[in-house]
Amino acid sequence: MDRLAFASELARDAGKLAHSAFGQSVISLKGRHDLVTAMDREVERLIRKAIGRRYPDDALIGEEEGGDAGECVWIIDPIDGTANYARGIPHYCVSIAYVEGRVPAVGVLYDPSHDWLYAAARGEGAWRNGERLAVSPCAEMSAATVECGWSTRLPSADYTELVGRALGAGCAVRRAGSGALGLADVAAGRTEGYCELHINAWDCAAGILLVHEAGGRTNDFFAGGGLTAGNALLATNAALYAKLAGVTGFPS
């Protein structure tokens, strides 16, 4: 079984486990508005065990237990959208990416609430439940909906300024609480863009590949220390990239 098929099956299994305690898992706080549930940890253990058994020589970085980068590294988020998951809001997913030489080669998201499996392989395309994905063709800011991700890792004033600039440029702005699914929405053409001032690799590595393989563009998230320390992220289509890069101030 190749890595794409392996990751797809694993994401489904992990998502089914997560969904068995949807809205019911015990919550604790890692920091201000930074939730973790017992299920985040349980799902990460399941994923780690399966990858370790199948690909013992690959490195692995997970949100809950960390890990070190390597030339061949799996980047996993057991539950992305934990605040939604913990509150019983059906917008969260399991994210599994396989990155080679700092370039994502395989990216898979499983959204248990819809039974949607998003999958992408470098140079081959991106799909949702087997159906090919393509980014939105929209070229007008006045018709573009952009999701602006938020976390407490940066000052609130930076976020409100970003949202203000996007609104001022004519975009509609939303925030749905899962960076990974926000990128999947861009790949599927359901929104025109996703941006965040700081996001971690486990939130976005799989989603970035989905966007690229659906014909979209992102900044070079993995430049510098993106893989281990996170980075700013802009994902959109080719027609809007320069305009949104101007609005967000992120590198083009």
Partner from ligand IPD, Ca ion, none binding residue 6, C-beta < 5-8 Å depending on class? none
Site of tokens 């967000």: 248
Q: Which stretch binds ligand IPD (CB under 6 A): 20-28, 53-61, 120-128, 195-203?
A: 195-203
Residues 80-99 that bind ligand IPD (CB under 6 A): 80-83
Shortest reach from residue 75's CB to ligand IPD, in Å: 13
- The C-alpha atoms of residue 41 and residue 154 are separated, in whole angstroms, by 25
Residues 6+ apart with CB under 8 A from 100: 71, 72
Helices (H), 148-251: 156-168, 179-187, 201-213, 226-229, 238-248
Encoded one letter per residue, x for contact with Ca ion by CB under 5 A and - for no contact, window 70-89 reads: -------x-xx-x-------
Q: Is residue 231 involved in binding ligand IPD (CB under 6 A)?
A: no
DSSP tag of 130: T
Residues in the chain: 252
Instruction: Please identify which residue in 77, 111, 185, 192 interacts with ligand IPD, judged by CB under 6 A.
Output: 77
Q: Is residue 203 involved in binding Ca ion (CB under 5 A)?
A: yes
Residues 6+ apart with CB under 8 A from 163: 148, 173
Residues that bind Ca ion (CB under 5 A): 63, 77, 79-80, 82, 203
Residues that bind ligand IPD (CB under 6 A): 63, 77, 80-83, 149-151, 177-179, 196, 199, 203
